[in-house]
């Protein structure tokens, strides 16, 4: 896999992660709440600072104004003297001012009705009070501390809005990872369940929460599925067993009748009986499954296998080297290859060609089936190997059983459309050199076979 493909896969997993969606939702909700609460707190704090500043300014102005109207309080007012004060006469002239405002003495009052004025590169908030017979008292208080506090509060709010999402997302990710660990583990176990084998229940977490209830429901479903599969296999086995004996008798009778009469209709009926025989074998294979089926290993000449297949599917062209030997279960391998050849003949038609090529190495034996038909349906893909899925009007069991037999041998079956047209199936099994090292001995006594014996 290329780095780009791996990164794309990680992005897909990241976008479809329940843990990430929960963390993102938690982060957005928490960020919204934090923003609202912080805005409220900052607004309240700034409002209180504003009121405190204004109260301080008013208190200073009232104290100084009291000193002009009440000469007895002049001594107390001296302690509250401001660096920014002016006394404005009734004619609008500044009669006196603090040292920072001396430039305005004996000049017209310059600030009009402004409540904030710049003085020596400082913003000063201003209030006015009546000063008895002296005129109007002008008192100012610098806003530097207030502006600095306001700026600090807004900077802290902005920093919180920038940092909080990342912190909340990481926190939510790790908390979600811990909280959903049981669900993630169960999903991994459930993903490894093979429906063709025994369905094992999932382990339940110790805490009885939503994950516990979900997994318990899945376990109950698995139990019902396994029970249903067992009933289906039992019913299918019984049906095949009941069909086996009559088909065997019918097949033998038709073969004898064909030998006596040479009637083409009888020969055609005998071929139909053969087809039904293999269909029942496929059904029995499906009913037993891989767990209940064991192979009877034998080392046979490739020519023996060729002779069987030539009788079962006439008109097949055999290519490659058929002089060697093959380690296999002869009946099962014959069944698998016969299914491939029968499908190929059905697709190619009576006038078409079907070839079976054998290539053998010490490590691998490869059978290649190629026909001159239309090729595999593009819309089926790997589904062509599923039971009861067919692109040629057959029962849909042949390819599924053939792949199962190949895998029981330790090999594989794959299919594609040949570049020059027609379907191309490749069945591989381990070679005899590898088979000699297997634990299972050769020529062991075969297990009980199907009710309907394989044709040979």
pLDDT tens by residue, the chain, 456 residues: 444 444 444 444 555 666 677 777 777 787 788 788 878 887 888 888 888 888 888 888 888 888 877 765 544 444 444 568 889 888 889 888 888 888 888 899 888 888 888 888 888 889 998 888 888 989 988 888 778 877 887 887 788 778 877 787 777 777 766 766 666 666 776 676 666 555 667 777 676 777 778 778 878 888 888 787 778 777 767 777 677 778 778 878 887 887 888 887 877 777 677 767 767 776 776 666 554 567 889 999 999 999 989 888 888 999 999 999 999 999 889 989 998 998 899 888 888 999 999 999 889 999 999 999 888 887 777 878 887 666 555 556 778 888 988 999 999 999 999 888 889 999 999 987 644 444 444 444 443 344 333 333
Q: What's the rounded Cα separation, in Å, for the pair 7 and 13?
A: 10
For the chain, how are helix, strand and coil distributed in percent, rounded to 5? 55, 15, 30
Q: Which residues of 259-404 form beta strands (DSSP E)?
A: 298-301, 316-320, 325-328, 354-360, 364-371
Alpha-helical (H) ranges within 289-391 are 302-312, 330-348
The domain made up of 294-435 has a fold known as Heat Shock Protein 90 (3.30.565)
Left, alpha or beta for 191 (phi > 0: left; psi -120 to 50: alpha)? alpha
pLDDT computed for residue 235 by the predictor: 74
354-360 and 316-320 beta bridge pairing: parallel
Residue in 13, 20, 15 with CA at minimum distance from that of residue 176:
20
Tokens of 394: 């057959």
pLDDT computed for residue 366 by the predictor: 96
Q: What's the rounded Cα separation, in Å, for the pair 201 and 38?
A: 49
| DSSP type of residue 437 | T
**Are 119 and 140 within 8 A, CB to CB?**
yes
Q: What's the rounded Cα separation, in Å, for the pair 251 and 51?
A: 107
User: Edge-to-edge strand order for the sheet containing 122-130?
Assistant: 94-97, 85-88, 136-142, 122-130, 116-119
Of the options 1.10.287, 1.10.150, 3.30.710, 1.25.40, the CATH number for the domain spanning 190-292: 1.10.287
Burial 323-350 (b: 16+ CB within 10 A, else e): eebbbbbbbbbbbbbbbbbbbbbbbbee
User: Edge-to-edge strand order for the sheet containing 423-430?
Assistant: 316-320, 354-360, 364-371, 423-430, 412-417
Domain boundaries, the chain: 190-292, 294-435
Which residues are bridge partners to 93 per DSSP? 108
**Are 98 and 85 within 8 A, CB to CB?**
yes
How many Cβ atoms are within 10 Å of 14's Cβ, its own excluded?
10
Whole-model pTM: value is 0.46
Residue in 380, 442, 445, 448 with CA at minimum distance from that of residue 415:
380
pLDDT computed for residue 426 by the predictor: 96
Residue in 308, 406, 324, 389 with CA at minimum distance from that of residue 358:
324
pLDDT computed for residue 192 by the predictor: 66
């Amino acid at each position: 896999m290329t780095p780009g493909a791996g990164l794309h896969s990680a992005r897909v997993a990241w976008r479809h992660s329940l843990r990430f969606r929960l963390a993102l939702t938690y982060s957005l909700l928490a960020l919204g709440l934090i923003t609202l609460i912080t805005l409220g707190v900052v607004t309240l704090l700034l409002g209180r600072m504003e009121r405190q500043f204004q109260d301080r300014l008013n208190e200073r102005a009232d104290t100084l104004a009291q000193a002009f109207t009440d000469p007895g309080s002049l001594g107390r007012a001296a302690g509250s003297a401001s660096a920014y004060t002016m006394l404005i006469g009734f004619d609008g002239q500044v009669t006196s001012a603090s040292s920072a405002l001396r430039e305005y003495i004996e000049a017209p009052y310059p600030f009009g009705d402004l409540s904030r004025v710049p003085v020596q590169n400082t913003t000063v908030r201003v209030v006015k009070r009546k000063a008895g017979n002296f005129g109007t008292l002008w008192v100012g208080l610098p806003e530097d501390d207030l502006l600095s506090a306001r700026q600090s509060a807004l900077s802290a709010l902005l920093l919180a809005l920038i940092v909080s999402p990342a912190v909340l997302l990481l926190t939510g990710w790790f908390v979600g990872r811990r909280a959903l660990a049981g669900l993630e583990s169960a999903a991994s176990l459930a993903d490894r369940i093979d429906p063709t084998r025994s369905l094992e229940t999932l382990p339940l977490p110790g805490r009885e929460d939503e994950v516990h209830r979900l997994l318990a429901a899945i376990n109950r479903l698995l139990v019902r599925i396994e029970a249903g599969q067992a009933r289906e296999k039992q019913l299918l086995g019984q049906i095949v067993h009941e069909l086996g004996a009559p088909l065997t008798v019918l097949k033998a009778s038709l073969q004898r009748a064909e030998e006596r009469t040479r009637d083409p209709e009888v020969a055609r009926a005998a071929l139909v009986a053969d087809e039904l025989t293999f269909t029942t074998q496929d059904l029995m294979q499906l009913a037993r499954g891989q767990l209940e089926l064991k192979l009877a290993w034998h080392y046979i000449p490739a020519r023996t296998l060729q002779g069987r297949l030539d009788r079962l599917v006439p008109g097949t062209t055999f290519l490659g080297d058929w002089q060697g030997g093959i380690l296999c279960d002869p009946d099962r391998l014959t069944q698998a290859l016969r299914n491939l050849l029968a499908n190929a003949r059905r697709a190619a038609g009576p006038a078409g060609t079907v070839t079976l090529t054998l290539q053998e190495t010490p490590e691998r034996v490869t059978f290649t089936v190629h026909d001159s038909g239309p090729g595999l349906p593009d819309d089926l893909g790997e589904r062509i190997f599923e039971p009861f899925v067919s692109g040629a009007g057959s029962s849909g069991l042949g390819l599924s059983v053939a792949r199962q037999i190949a895998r029981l041998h330790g090999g594989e079956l794959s299919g594609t459309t040949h570049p020059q047209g027609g379907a191309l199936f490749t069945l591989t099994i381990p070679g005899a050199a590898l088979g000699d090292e297997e634990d299972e001995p050769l020529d062991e006594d075969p297990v009980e076979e199907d009710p309907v014996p394989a044709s040979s």
